[in-house]
Amino acid sequence: MKIIAFAEQRNNQFKKTAFEVVRAARTIADQLGAECNALVIGGNVSSIASQLGAYGASKVFVVDDAQLEYYSTTAYAKIVAEIARAESADMLFFPASAMGKDFAPRVAAKLDAGLAADCTALRVENGTVIATRPVYAGKAFVEVAVRSAIKLFTLRPNVFSAGTPAGSTAVVEKKESALGEADFGAVVKEIKIAGGKKDVAEADIIVSGGRGLKAPENFSMVEELAASLGAAVGASRAVVDAGWRPHDEQVGQTGKTVSPSLYIAVAISGAVQHLAGMSSSKYIVAINKDKDAPIFSIADYGIVGDAFEVVPTLTAELKKTLNR
């Protein structure tokens, strides 16, 4: 049996989720007695490929082609499907990142395969991989089995542990791409990165603000607290709909579903659709004036108090403690 893990890189650097996906593939491969290999696609990525050995890949297939420096859903899907066929892979693992979510279903269609999307846990039962995935934005979870010859999984970033890298380096095997113009049906021409902004979907700590902050300018308080923790800034739907914050910060059912190790909710009451998106955070802190706010029902630690008073004090205390 063979598993191939797609290791996502940007600018010739692996994303953290690449290591998580390779490690998860290794863990499952060990339980199934399977082979675990990885796959890297990009322009000038050969030099980084061997790093994946330290996370459990035996072999790393590399498709290194200047045309692939920028992501293309059609070209990436073609390459992965071709390699999966050529290597007789039984399972493919991807990150449930913006990239993985975008092209893994295309690979599934090419291989006539089922795809368990956005998995938060995997286990093996009687030789079958059982995946746990959230539905209704985390209001419930389903356990699923993939019923097709080749099985695909996308894994939610930040949930699976990459483990500690151990010394081994992987064998790197170059693969030819043989791509023509027709394979680039959709292609990225430019990437705009907001300067140093952390994304809530990838952050280990998130500080979110809600309507209780009263005005958009008061979000500076949330931003300062986030900066003291190296955290991403999140927002409730109410403040995004009011135009105070960009929608890419929205946490909840019509925003992002997140699972950081620490989630600090500032002046957020906790509507059902918000709680769904963040309740799987490992630790939740709520700061809210209203002791009956639903957010306290899922918070590990709460301060029933005025955010305008508590938050600046917390920022100062953290700066002192963490030396930032």
Site for another protein in 236-265 (CB under 8 A): 240, 246-248, 250, 253-255, 257, 261-262
Region 135-164 residues binding another protein, contact defined as CB under 8 A = 135-148
Question: Is residue 115 at the binding interface for another protein, with CB under 8 A as the rule?
Answer: yes
Q: How far is the CB of 61 from another protein (least distance, A)?
A: 21
Residue 63 near residue 44 (C-beta atoms within 8 A): no
Q: Which residues, numbered 168-197, are part of the site for another protein (CB under 8 A)? A: 185-194, 197
Q: How far apart are CA 39 and CA 58, in angstroms?
A: 11
Cα(216)–Cα(211) distance, integer angstroms: 9
Which string of x and - marks every residue 71-100 that binds another protein (by CB under 8 A)? x-xx--x-------------------xxx-
φ/ψ of 252, rounded to 5, equals 140, -170
Site for another protein in 212-231 (CB under 8 A): 229
By CB neighbour count within 10 A (0-12 exposed, 13-18 middle, 19+ buried), where does 45 fall? buried
The Cα 204–Cα 198 span in angstroms is 10
Least distance CB 130 / another protein (angstroms): 7
- Nearer Cβ to another protein (20/118): 118
- The residues, ordered by sequence, that sit 6+ positions from 82 with a Cβ below 8 Å of its Cβ are none
Phi/psi of residue 24, nearest 5 degrees: -65, -40
Q: Are 84 and 110 in contact (CB under 8 A)?
A: no
283 binds another protein (CB under 8 A): yes
**Taking the complex as a whole, how short is the minimal distance between the CB of residue 104 and another protein, in angstroms?**
8
For another protein (CB under 8 A), the number of binding residues is: 96
Minimum CB distance to another protein smaller for 85 or for 197: 197
Closest distance between another protein and the C-beta of residue 72, in Å? Answer: 9
CB of 179 to another protein, least distance (A): 14
- CA angle, 278 then 279 then 281, to 5°: 75
